[in-house]
Amino acid sequence: MAERHPDAPAIIEEDRVLTYARLDKMADSIMAKFYDRKPEYVGIVMHHGAEQIAAMLAVLKSGAAYVPAEPTLPQERIDYMMQTAGVDFIITDNYCRTAKVTSSEMPDRSRPEGVAYVLYTSGTTGKPKGVVVENHSVVNYARAFESEFHTGPGDIMLQYSVCSFDIFVEEVFTTLLNGAAVCIPPAAIHNGSLAGLMRFVERHGVTIIDGFPYLIAEMNKLPAIPSSIKLIISGGDVIRGSYITNLRGRGIRIYNTYGPSETTVCSNYYRVDNAAPLDDGTFPIGKAISGVEVRILDKNLREVPQGETGEICIFGEGVSRGYLGNPPEQKNFVTLADGRRMYRSGDLGYLLPDGNIAFLHRRDGQVMILGKRVEPEEVENVLNTCPGIERGVVRAFLDEHGLHYLVAYFVAEESCTLHHIRGWLASKLTDFMIPEFFVKMRHIALTRRGKVDMEALPVVMKEGEAR
């Protein structure tokens, strides 16, 4: 895009605007520091901003893959991610600040079949697992995005998500590859009120917001939203008709999207602003995007009849290489007899008469917390490593709006305080994975087979708030 639109805005921040030419030069300056080392994987542990995006572009242009992590993550988690990915080195904010701006263009060593990035997701083994995504999958997704949403020069995408989740890939790379601009709020606005965020959106003329359903539900409560917004994209969890009652009729296109990180951001789109929800109040996840095929299969991988429940299975350009190492979840990637790769999502759904797909729920225990997939088992495993905890169990519940929250049940030594437990979890897990409620138990009942009797655990009710 730097060649076609050198003077067009690429990144907009509160106090500066970087053109495509300037962003390209910044990326080259960062890359010049390590280009001769020919790295394979490069860690990026940086704060939100233009330099972070430039560092990612530098890594990709060098032919390497980036492994992102927020500096605010627990250090133990960052160390685990970087060590298991085998990064050659880590780029930090200071590393980028010391890069000297150069006018010379650096050769592009990227390859379609090369790895673009590794994102770590929650794992059943108690450790996060790295999803390996290739360059051609990202390019295919950018093309599919442009084909559906018709974004391009003149559009401005709010860059709101953190870098370790794949919505960041949608916000940044589909935007830059299609000639639009990325608009990044400062930390104070990012972490502040929704009203403050909307003022920022209005001030900079943001046209696209890509967010989780809870953000859209909160926007729905506002008496007014910025007139510049033309497109709202929801992903990461189910979206309900009640979330958009006040957003309808404002000339804003609103979409529900679906897709695990393992299949490069999204595999399905469905426009909801002009559609009626299903009987359960949710919207369908729609049809497969360009370059991707989605089918509903039974346990023997045979297609089920229309209307019958089966597993959502994804084929095509979006399917990633799989996971780093060989975790148990690797079995969800299947190579078919014809050589095609398929990902078994673990999500259940069914085919509607019009060809759209309806999402039901997970087949396993995985849940969505603030739009991120969480394995309660991972949280439980960490809880049970806490000194003073004799036995811990983590269970997920749904609030009145269908949003998941976690409850931790534990038997502990008398000296083991809640402050101590929360601190232990915070040192090892990201904040959205920490249970909202903690229940101290005298003992935890077991079934005849020696498993935790989930039905015997007290129910902790939470008033439903569309967060």
CATH number at 108 reads 3.40.50.12780
57 by DSSP, 3-state: which? helix
The last residue of one of the domains, among 305, 337, 362, is 362
Our count of domains for the chain comes to: 2
Q: Are residues 89 and 174 in the same domain?
A: yes
Q: What local confidence, expressed as pLDDT, does residue 207 receive?
A: 98
Task: Tell me if 3 is assigned to some domain.
Answer: no
Is the pTM higher than 0.75? yes
Q: For the chain, what percent of residues have pLDDT higher than 90?
A: 63
Q: Which residue has the higher pLDDT, 82 or 105?
A: 82
DSSP string, 187-205: HHHHTS-HHHHHHHHHHHT
Tell me, yes or no, whether 467 lies in a domain.
no
Residues 137 and 209 in one domain: yes
Whichever domain contains 404, its CATH number is: 3.30.300.30
Q: Which domain holds residue 209?
A: 9-362
With cut-offs at 50, 70 and 90, classify the pLDDT of residue 466.
very low
Predicted local confidence at residue 368, as pLDDT = 78
Which of 329, 362, 395 is a domain's end point? Answer: 362
Quick check: is 466 in a domain?
no
Q: Say what the pLDDT of residue 211 is.
A: 87
| 88 found inside a domain | yes
Do 287 and 412 share a domain, yes or no?
A: no
**In whole angstroms, what is the distance from residue 10 CA to residue 28 CA?**
15
**DSSP SS3 for 375:** coil
C-alpha–C-alpha distance, residues 65 and 118, integer Å: 7
Question: Do residue 393 and residue 304 come from a single domain?
Answer: no
- Is the pLDDT score of 212 beyond 70? yes
| Within-domain flag for 150 | yes
If asked whether residues 30 and 160 sit together in one domain, one would say yes
Domain annotation covers residue 369: no
Query: Could you give the percent of the chain with pLDDT greater than 70?
Result: 94
Is residue 109 one of the residues assigned to a domain?
yes
- Domain final residue pick, 296, 330, 362: 362
Residue 467: its pLDDT value, please? 39
- By three-state DSSP, how is residue 132 classified? strand
Do 232 and 265 belong to one domain? yes
Same domain, 382 and 329: no
pLDDT > 60? residue 1: no
Residues 312 and 440 in one domain: no
For residues 384 and 351, membership in a common domain is answered with no
Same domain membership, residue 290 and residue 165: yes
DSSP 290-357: TTEEEEEE-TTS-BPPTTS-EEEEEEETT---EESS--GGGGGEEE-TTS-EEEEEEEEEEE-TTS-E
